Amino acid sequence: MIRPRFVRLAETGRPAVRFRLDGRDVAALEGDTVLTAVLMNAGSLRRSEFGDGPRAGFCLMAACQDCWIWTEEGGRLRACDTAVAEGMALLTAPPQETTWPTSAS
C-alpha cells in the first residue's frame, strides 16, 4: 500500500488534473506543482541517484536542485517549480531502473 507524504487539507475545489506516476493513473488539482502532485500520491518524490535514499525536495523554491524527476519520454523536470499538467507521465526513478506495478502490488 502506498502512503502519500502529503495530505490535502484545503483548496479542494480546484479542477482535477490526471497524470501517470510510475505507471499508475493518479490525480492532482489544477495549480499544484509537480512536487505537490507527486507527494499527494507517493511517499517520496524520487530516489536519489547518489545512494542517500528517497527524497522529497528540500527548498521548494527552485534553488537546491533536489527535486529533479524523470518523465516516461526520457526528459527530466524540476518538480517544485513546474505545474502539473493533464497527461504528464512521471517517474520517481530513472527510466532504466523503474519497476512497474503488478496486480500483486
* Binding residue (CB under 6 A) for ligand FES from 27, 43, 54, 66: 66
Tell me the residue type at 89.
A
* Binding residue (CB under 6 A) for ligand FES from 18, 65, 86, 101: 65
Q: What's the longest Cα–Cα distance across the chain?
A: 39
Judged by CB under 6 A, the chain residues 8 through 47 that form the site for ligand FES are: none
* Binding residue (CB under 6 A) for ligand FES from 2, 14, 23, 59: 59
Of the candidate spans 4-12, 14-22, 63-71, 83-91, the one that interacts with ligand FES by CB under 6 A turns out to be 63-71
Count helices and strands in the chain by DSSP H and E runs = 1, 7
Q: How far is the C-alpha of 50 from the C-alpha of 84, rounded, in Å?
A: 26
Grid coordinates in use for 20? 501517470
